């Protein structure tokens, strides 16, 4: 079930270094949001704060409130593992477990959280997830072959199948197409368009055409200089950000004057 994400005055730190400052954003369910902005402005850092992946680094922490349908993701007693199964993540480079079969890759989230599934249930999850990732027809006859035998684009869709298999509410994608050829990129973009029916999707992208193609909303982040924290400058409908932004920094960035 797609859920709302809200950040209230969120700061994200690597030890003493504040990488992202005072993010306030309200992301509606069943939408695709693109995070754009120049290198180092904190897009990935903020993305990883949303599902508590950030804190796996020593000394890394988050201040402020991050809410999933009103519940604080960082609330006391909240298990980060359960947050990561509700808020799935797809990374820049496809990272299927190379020696695991396609089928076991899809089921990896269940293995990791110790859920035992009978054959009928696991078959149903594998088929539904691979269909959801638009990969079923390409792999249904080789489910027991290793995930590493797929093309890069297929591997990325396998990673998407793996993240949707555990029925998350939100999917975070960190430049999911940066290692893919144009055809595979279009396949993943088509999939993102379909995914918003079921999930809240957030995608970090350097490709403004991609943001314009897939995102309902766009968040522009910026940084004032090296060593300064990144900030969310403007968040609005994608066509407003690209055609009539209210902030001059956004205007300069989307029109290619810097970044
Ligand atoms: N593991 C880390 N330890 C310390 N600082 C880090 C770490 N990862 C990132 N940073 C710093 O945090 C800031 C934000 O980095 P981040 O990767 O979030 O930016 P980004 O906008 O995603 O950049 P890019 O578009 O280049 O991927 C940068 O100053 C970066 O050097």
CATH number at residue 180: 3.40.50.300
Question: Residue of the nearest CA to atom 26 in ligand 1?
Answer: 39
Report whether 25 contacts 235 (CB < 8 A).
yes
In a domain, 259, yes or no: no
User: What are residue 66's DSSP bridge partners?
Assistant: 7
- Tell me how many domains the chain contains: 1
In the prediction, which pLDDT does 85 show? Answer: 86
Centroid of ligand 1 to alpha carbon of 99 (angstroms): 31
Q: Whose CA is nearest to atom 7 of ligand 1?
A: 14
Whether the CB of 14 sits within 6 Å of ligand 1: yes
Q: Is the CB of 40 under 6 A from ligand 1?
A: yes
Residue bearing the CA closest to ligand 1, atom 16: 42
Average pLDDT (185-201) is 90
Determine contact, residues 215/34, Cβ cutoff 8 Å. Answer: yes
Q: Which domain holds residue 240?
A: 5-254
Task: Give a yes or no: residue 235 inside a domain.
Answer: yes
Whether the per-residue pLDDT at 257 is higher than 80: the answer is no
- Any domain includes 190: yes
* Domain membership flag for residue 14: yes
CA distance 45 to 65: 15
| Helix H or strand E segment including 126 | helix 119-132
Does residue 182 lie within any of the structural domains?
A: yes
Q: What is the Rg, in whole angstroms, of the alpha carbon atoms belonging to the chain?
A: 18
SS3 per residue for 164-214: HHCCCCEEEEECCCCCCCHHHHHHHHHHHHHHCCCCEEEEECCCHHHHHHH
Calpha distance 29→36 (Å, rounded) = 20
Let me know: does 206 contact 253? Beta carbons within 8 Å. Answer: no
Q: pLDDT band at 194, cuts 50/70/90?
A: confident
28-77 per-position pLDDT tens digit: 999 999 999 999 999 999 999 999 999 999 999 999 999 999 999 999 99
- CB of 44 closer than 6 angstroms to any ligand 1 atom: yes
Q: What is the H or E stretch that residue 144 is in?
A: none
Flag whether 198 is in a domain: yes
In-domain check, residue 133: yes
Q: CB of 205 closer than 6 A to ligand 1?
A: no
Question: Which tens digit of pLDDT belongs to each residue from 161-170?
Answer: 999 898 899 9
Residue 54 inside a domain? The answer is yes
């Amino acid at each position: 079930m797609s859920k709302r994400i809200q950040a209230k005055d969120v700061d994200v730190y690597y030890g003493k270094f504040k990488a992202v400052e005072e993010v306030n954003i309200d992301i509606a369910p069943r939408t695709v949001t693109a995070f754009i902005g120049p290198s180092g402005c904190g897009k990935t850092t903020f993305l990883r704060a949303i599902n508590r992946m950030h804190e796996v680094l020593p000394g890394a922490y988050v201040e402020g409130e991050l809410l999933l349908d009103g519940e604080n993701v960082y609330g006391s007693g909240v298990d980060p593992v359960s947050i990561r199964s509700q808020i799935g993540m797809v990374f820049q480079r496809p990272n299927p477990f190379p020696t695991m079969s396609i089928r076991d890759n899809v089921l990896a989230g269940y293995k990791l959280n110790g859920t035992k599934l009978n054959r009928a249930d696991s078959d149903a999850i594998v088929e539904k997830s691979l269909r959801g990732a638009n990969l079923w027809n390409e792999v249904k006859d080789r489910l027991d072959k290793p995930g590493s035998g797929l093309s890069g684009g297929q591997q990325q869709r396998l990673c998407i199948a793996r993240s949707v298999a555990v029925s998350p509410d939100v999917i975070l994608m960190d430049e999911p197409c940066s290692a893919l050829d144009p055809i595979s990129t279009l396949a993943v973009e088509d999939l993102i368009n379909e995914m918003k029916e079921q999930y809240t999707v957030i995608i970090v992208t350097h490709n403004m055409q991609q943001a314009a193609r897939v995102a309902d909303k766009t968040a522009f982040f910026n940084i004032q200089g090296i060593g300064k924290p990144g900030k969310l400058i403007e968040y609005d409908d994608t066509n407003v950000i690209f055609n009539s932004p209210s902030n001059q920094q956004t205007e300069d960035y989307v029109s290619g004057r810097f970044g």
